[in-house]
A and B are shown apart, each in its own frame.
Chain A
Amino acid sequence: MFYYNCKHETGSYTMNANDEEKSPFFKSWSYWYALVIIFLAILIIFFYFFTKHFS
């Protein structure tokens, strides 16, 4: 969880950046983030074996 302070016409305030809108397909955005990172890891592993196989 992270917060930040902003000065605005109405004065200083603190906003919670985790006031999220509902994510599509999954229960929360965390699943989307995990999907992106896991997919990257799978790609790197695939590329590793691809490099090995054809070198």
Chain B
Amino acid sequence: MSRPDWIVLITTLVGIIVYGLLKSRTSKNLDGYFLSDRSVPWYIVLLSIMGTQASAVTFLSAPGQAYTDGMRFVQYYFGLPIAMVVLCITFVPVFHKLRIYTAYEFLEKRFDVKTRTLTSFLFLLQRGLSTGISISAPSIILSSLLGWDIMWTNIFMGGLLIIYTVTGGAKAVAYTQQLQLIIVFGGMIMAGYMVVHLLPQHIGFFDALHVGGKAGKLNVITTGFKNNNFNWNDRYNLLSGVIGGFFLALSYFGTDQSQVGRYLTAKSERESKLGLLLNGLVKVPMQFLILLIGVMVFAFYQYHEEPVFFNQSQLKVLENSKYKDSLYALQNEYDKAEVLKVKEMNVISAADKSSNEFRQAQSALQSIANQKELTKKTIRRWLGDKEVHGDSNDTNYIFLRFVVDYLPKGLVGLLIAVIFLAAWGSVAAALNSLASATIVDFHKRFSKKELTPNNEYVLSKWYTFLWGIFCVIVAQLAYNIGNSLIEAVNVLGSLFYGVILGVFLVAFYMKKVGGHAVFISAVIVELLVISIHVLNQKGIVNLSFLWLNVVGATGVIFLSWIMNTFFIDRNKKAGRNLPV
């Protein structure tokens, strides 16, 4: 990185920390520390929930995903607006009226302490681990691309934000997220403008869209049907996006404390609802535009030489393996083909569509594309070799490789700052929520010692700090996970979210079901969901991870109903008339 890049990066990061510290003044009690004295306006709520959901991986992986798999990933968010509506009708009024700190507190009021403890524990487990992965994902990419030390990158990615998160709690988190998101969007808009600007002069935005479209990258809507059969293992299609995405979003925004904690900071129920509904309006178009940048990068590389593998550190791994000589030969052939590709693409752009020249260039490009595909497959196969032990997926590296190689000085620093800020926004909210669940659902709930508001405030700061350290350690341990980390985070969420959502839906809609029935159902269905995931991994079952949310939620609802009927009958026979 050049000196201007370092100046932009350091200034932005230091600026955010200082801003976070300036916004740190809150009342020294739980209300002030975790709920910002319930004083936040709707637009901060909106930016805060968006900043919490959009992690660094969102901005790194999404353009890469569009580059390799097309834009169909946007369908994953189709269920989100519907979930926002259900949340505003069901969850938000209840949470506000009960004036709770964590979503799980409601479950004790509705059921019993064990159901609250179980769901809060599942949240801590899932959110603690996934926050660690959220730190390690961008760290691995940056350290690999820029040659930074992974440990220090993890510490900067997950550690610096602890300063203002510990000091200012939810208020500092919300206000820094507002500034972070403005910088993030500014950076992404500039990157989008630059990629179009860097296209050859005769290629405009719509030409680039046609290039992407011809290569199948503008597949925004896919049905998931193949030969009249629905493919349950297809991750992103209209049905899985609307149904699976709805359950995932409802669970994430309604039962994950990292989100619930954001909209509980609102000064009224009205402000919470407005923030959530506007999120429902802007999320899908925002994700569409981020993916569109990936398609523009794809179009850009049709007129420029594309690296044989975007993660160059993995090519170095191959250079030190038995494939060294074969790699040189393959790379040589590939580079020649890339020069030819650029030439033929320019011919196609200039020639008349009905001319022979056009048709010849088209057929030459087809054979180059086939050869390229074969080369890339070979490299992935070599990296997948057990002796090499490489990472054969370079999706997450595509966008940043383009940024580092082609964007002007200063902008590179800004886009690396964007990655840091996006990570900080989601990690800060996660730490705040992990601390709130720990103190409210466990420490305060089970401690026999009476705590003063000041004791609670100091303890909350300590828990935030300790969770920060825990997540950085997890990030360091997750270094070897590899592959597409965005999916690792989503899969991990899907293992728990559905069951937790099921418990909440029973709480809201099945008033006759009591604590024992829902607790036992939740434990059984959680084991079932984990079993299905393991069978899926082994290839025995074919089910995309998004459907695990549906299985978890409907499983708990159905089993609770069965268990309740069974227990009620038993209680009636025993002469008791208690809800279970």
- The smallest beta-carbon distance between B109 and chain A, in angstroms, is 4
Which residues between 180 and 235 of chain B lie within 8 Å of chain A, taking CB atoms? Answer: 209-210, 212-214, 216, 218-221
A9 shortest CB reach to chain B, Å: 10
**Complex contacts, B90 vs chain A, CB 8 Å:** 2, 17
A3: which of B85, B285, B511 is its contact (CB, 8 Å)? B511
Q: Is the CB of A37 within 8 A of B97?
A: no
Q: In the complex, are the beta carbons of B274 and A24 less than 8 A apart?
A: yes
Label chain B's interface by main secondary structure: helix
| B284 to A: closest C-beta gap in Å | 6
Q: Number of contacts between A and B (CB, 8 Å)? A: 98
Please determine whether A18 and B219 come into contact, CB atoms closer than 8 angstroms: no
Q: Which residues of A contact B89 (CB under 8 A)?
A: 2, 17, 29, 33
Find out whether the CB atom of A44 lies under 8 angstroms from the CB atom of B221: yes
Interface range on chain A (Cβ under 8 Å from partner): 20 to 34
Those of B228-282 within 8 Å (CB) of chain A: 238, 268-270, 273-274, 277, 280-281
Cα–Cα, bound, A51→B268 (Å):
41
Query: Do the beta carbons of A55 and B213 come within 8 Å of each other?
Result: yes
Chain A contacts for B81, CB-based, 8 A: 36-37, 39-40
**B281 touching A47 by the CB < 8 A rule?**
no
Distance in angstroms between the alpha carbons of A8 and B105 in the assembled complex: 11
A19: chain B residues at CB < 8 Å are: 93, 97
Which of these, A15, A29, A48, contacts B94 with CB under 8 Å?
A15
Contact of A33 among B85, B268, B284, B509 (CB under 8 A): B85
CA distance A44 to B214 in the complex (A): 21
0 or 1 for each of A11-40: is its CB under 8 Å from B? (1 = yes): 000010111111110000100110111011
**A2-B508 in contact (CB<8A):** yes
Other A-B pairs, 10, CB within 8 Å; known A37-B81, A40-B284: A2-B90, A2-B508, A6-B98, A15-B97, A21-B269, A24-B274, A37-B85, A44-B78, A47-B220, A51-B221
A-B contact pairs, 9 of them (CB 8 A): A6-B98, A8-B109, A35-B277, A35-B281, A36-B82, A40-B82, A43-B284, A44-B221, A51-B219
Residues of B at under 8 Å CB distance from A?
74, 78, 81-82, 84-85, 88-90, 93-94, 97-98, 106, 109-110, 209-210, 212-214, 216, 218-221, 238, 268-270, 273-274, 277, 280-281, 284-285, 288, 507-509, 511
Residues in A lying within 8 Å of B, measured CB to CB: 2-8, 15, 17-24, 29, 32-33, 35-37, 39-40, 43-44, 47-48, 50-51, 53-55
